[in-house]
Each structure stands twice: as structure tokens, then as C-alpha cells.
Chains A and B, each alone.
Chain A
Amino acid sequence: MDSLVTLTVDGEQRSLTLDTRTTLLDALRDRLRVTSPKKGCDHGQCGACTVLVDGRRVTSCLTFAVAHEGSEVTTAAGLGSDGALHPVAQAFLEHDGFQCGYCTPGQICSAVGMLDEVDRGWPSHVTEDLTAAVELDDDEIRERMSGNLCRCGAYVNIVAAVRAAAR
């Protein structure tokens, strides 16, 4: 069954008629040709499809596009401004935070959303004192990025990139 959906994708308003069964990921990639979010597992387990919806990181494969009428969607491709890379993307480059690059757009969106969560003082599973200010050490970064898998195993450099971007 078809439904009309309007989304703002990377700053641009896009309207389309789509089958209600279309996930946000498939709407972005197959219908709008916004291909920076990637399809890995398609079940929310790998994080390659991570985008920011109204500023929050989500797995775009586990949510239907039709449920996001009026939402603002930011993909890794839309993070930079004025031709400059977003500081998190720049940090991934400088710290060699990838090999094949397939998981990278999801890693970057996830890191951007995660750093915003840290700025808001959200604790994580490894935060010792739930009521104290968060200190973003490597254990915190690993825990908070655990929804993003990297089959190349570039984790050491991903942690370094996120650590650098957080400064």
C-alpha cells in the first residue's frame, strides 16, 4: 500500500510516494539515491545503516520510512558544511579509522550522535557513577559504539578517531 512521505534529507526537503513496507534505509538508498547509509545485516545488529533522525542516531533499517513523516534525516554525506568534512569524519581520515570503508558512514553518524549524548551527560553501561559527569575514556567509547560492527577490525583506529574528535 502506497503512502506519501515528506522527509528532510541532508537539508533538502524530499517528497515521495512509497510502499509502506519500505524501511527508512531503503527509502534513502533505493528511492532517493542517498547511498551513504549502508545495508549490512538489515536487522539492526551491525549499525552500517546508522543515520541521525531529528538529531538522534538510529538504525535506519529497523524503522519504516512512513513513520518518519516530517522528520529531519542526516546521513554521513550531509554532516559536513561548506565543503569541509565534519570534524568526526576528518578524525576518521586522520586516524585511519577504516579499511574497506563500508561501515564508516554508519560509524561516523553513530559517533556524532554518541558525542551529543555525552554532551547531554548521558551515562553508559560502563559508567561507574551514574550521577557524575561522564569521562569519555576508551572503555566508554567502545561501549557506546558497540552497535557498530567493523568486519575489517579497524576498531583500534576507530576508537582513536572518536577520542580525537571528542577533544
Chain B
Amino acid sequence: MRPFAYERAADASGAVSAVVQRPDAAFLGGGTNLVDHMKLGVAAPDLLVDITHLPFDSVEHLTGVGVRIGAGVRNADLAADPLIRERYPVLSQALLSGASGQLRNLATTGGNLLQRTRCVYFQDVSTPCNKREPGSGCSALEGYTRYHAILGASEHCVAVHPSDMAVAMAALDATVRVYDPTRPGGERAIPIADLHRLPGDEPQRDTVLERGDLITAVDLPALPMAARSAYRKVRDRASYAFALVSVAAAVEVDGDGAIGDVRIAFGGLAHKPWRATKAEEALRGGPANQEAFRAAAQAELADARPLRDNAFKVPMAANTMVAVLRDLTEARR
């Protein structure tokens, strides 16, 4: 491992200037992804600026406005927050389906968002990978692709974003707040749908953030329909595994049985949490039945381009989405 200096940041401004001044510096949150990547030789910062002592460690519920989740709030604490469990169950469920109890105690909200979009070849420095070494080639395209993307991939990268939390936040239309003293209020806001990127011809860039950008919080809008929301994750073993496919959804059914509003996002399918806008559009105003759910899933997945080992993800994604919507709408009646 490359030697590195360590600083414990006293405030956001100091943390940002320390990282901006040094091209190979990195923020250190819970470290569950970064420390692992440093051991693997995938990441090699020469300065770690520890941001876990900054005052971004609370979940603030503002009635009628929504929730502000500090970037330093640990995944375990966010999942257990009583009002998140009650008002945004999809978020608690997503967090609880990710990693293990030990990792959730370390991992932070900001760090979970900024964990690398990755695959086994990205983490194996003996193999070519365009994300790790731009231009070196993609080993997955000719290799093992069970876990890889079926939507929005490019010829340069077919890795998927592994977060469960971010999928729920995508469905909830969260906003990511980034420290920016040049803006009024000292922060700028990025809709979560715009935070993560598709790989295109720059797979080395997972997000739109620039060097020194520090996430301070994630805001959830007040969304009464989210009280009836759910996350379902399909994986190769029952616990502590990445998603093959996951679905976050919230549905609102009108008095006459039609779908008033619906939010759906997929995990495990793309380089970023995949907001299913086509499926939502197909469902809004229509009936809440299985035929409609299936047609909407097919509309969303029409552009799917499975790889050698993951054609199963197309029906699995559709079936999971149908099942989640069925559970949510049946429970309501």
C-alpha cells in the first residue's frame, strides 16, 4: 500500500482545501470501500482527510419539509431511525439489505453514495479495466458477467453500482447537498438522479462530482406516499451479498383504484441506480393490476442489452418489480 498522511478534519472548509490542494488526496468516511480498495491496490491516495468528525451526523425531520440526513450518519443508524422506518420504509429496508451489521456500523451515508461502481475485474489489478486504467480494455466483456449491467452500459464498461441505499433514495427523489462556499447557503444541490453517471467513454468517472466536492447531506422530500413503500433484493444467497436485481418502489392508489403516483428504481442493472421513468409513465393513471405492472416493466426493460451470463436479469427484474407493486397495492386494499 502506498504510504499516506492522515489528517482529521476540523471543519468542512479545511477538509475541502486539504483535498483540493493535493491531487491524490481522498476523503475518508467509514472506509469500508476505500480501505478495501487501498489494500487491493485499486486506490492509492497519499493523503486521507478523515471527515467522520464533522458535524454532519444527524437525521433531522422537518415536518412538512422532509428529512435532512447528514453525510456522516452511519448506515446502521439511518436504517434504525424511527421516523425513517415509519415514513420511508423503503430506505430502511434497502439499508438493512446491504452489507453486514459490522459494515453498516462503519459505513456512512455519503460514503455509501460514493462507493465505487465496480465489478470483479475492477478489483483485480492483474486484469485490464477501463474504469481502473482508462484505455486498458474491459475484461468483463469477454469474461464473467453474471453480476453486470443490462441497461445503460457502454463498450467500455458494464459494471453496476452496488448500493442498495442509493436505489431507495433514487425512488424517493432525494437531493444530494455538496459543500460550496461560492453559493448562497454555502451548498449546492444535485438531484440524486444526476449524481451518478452512465459509463459512456469515461467509465473512470462514477459521479459528476469534481475533486474536493464534499457531500454534507442528503435531503428527502416530504412524500406521504413513501409510508407505503418497499425494497426487494434478489441475490445469490439470503444475506450479505450484492443484488442481482433489486427494486425500490412506492405507489399511491386513488379512491377509484387507479394509480395516482408511483416511484420505481432498480438496483443491480446499471452503472447507476436506475430510475424507471418509462415504467412510472406507463403506470400513472392506469389500473393497479398485474397486467399493467408487467406491461410497465416490459416498457422499462425494452432497451435491456444482456451479456453472456446475465440474460436472466431481464425476466428477474420484471418479476421483482411486478411482485413489489403487487405487494404494495394489495396491502393497501
Give A residues with C-beta under 8 Å from B. 1, 3, 19-21, 23, 42-45, 47, 50, 56-59, 62-64, 66-67, 69, 110, 113-114, 117, 120-125, 127, 130-131, 142-148
Contact = CB atoms under 8 A, between A and B. Distances in A.
27 contacts: A20-B5, A20-B6, A21-B4, A23-B35, A44-B32, A44-B102, A50-B102, A56-B105, A57-B101, A59-B32, A59-B106, A62-B31, A62-B106, A64-B6, A64-B28, A64-B48, A67-B6, A67-B8, A67-B50, A113-B102, A120-B80, A122-B76, A125-B97, A125-B239, A127-B96, A130-B89, A143-B238
10 closest A-B pairs by beta carbon, nearest first, are: A147-B100, A146-B239, A130-B85, A122-B80, A146-B240, A125-B96, A56-B105, A59-B102, A20-B6, A147-B102
A63 to B, nearest CB: 5
- Point out which of B31, B50, B86, B102 has the most chain A C-beta atoms below 10 A from its C-beta: B102
A123 B101 contact: no
B39 A42 contact: yes
A92 B31 CA distance: 31
A105 B104 CA distance: 20
B301 interface: no
B79 interface: yes
A136 B117 CA distance: 35
Contacts of B4: 1, 20-21
Nearest to B30: A63
A64 B35 contact: yes
Interface residues of B, number: 38
Contacts of A113: 101-102, 105
Interface string B22-55: 0000001011100110110000000010101000
B92 A123 contact: yes
Secondary structure at the A interface, as helix, strand, loop or mixed, is loop
Given A110-B101, A143-B238, 16 more contacts: A20-B48, A44-B102, A56-B76, A56-B105, A58-B102, A58-B106, A64-B48, A67-B6, A67-B52, A113-B101, A117-B101, A120-B80, A125-B97, A130-B85, A142-B239, A148-B100
A110 B102 contact: yes
Contacts of B76: 56, 117, 122
A19 B38 CA distance: 15
A162 to B, nearest CB: 13
Contact of A146 (B8, B86, B100, B106): B100
Given A123-B85, A125-B93, A146-B239, A67 B79 contact: no
A100 to B, nearest CB: 21
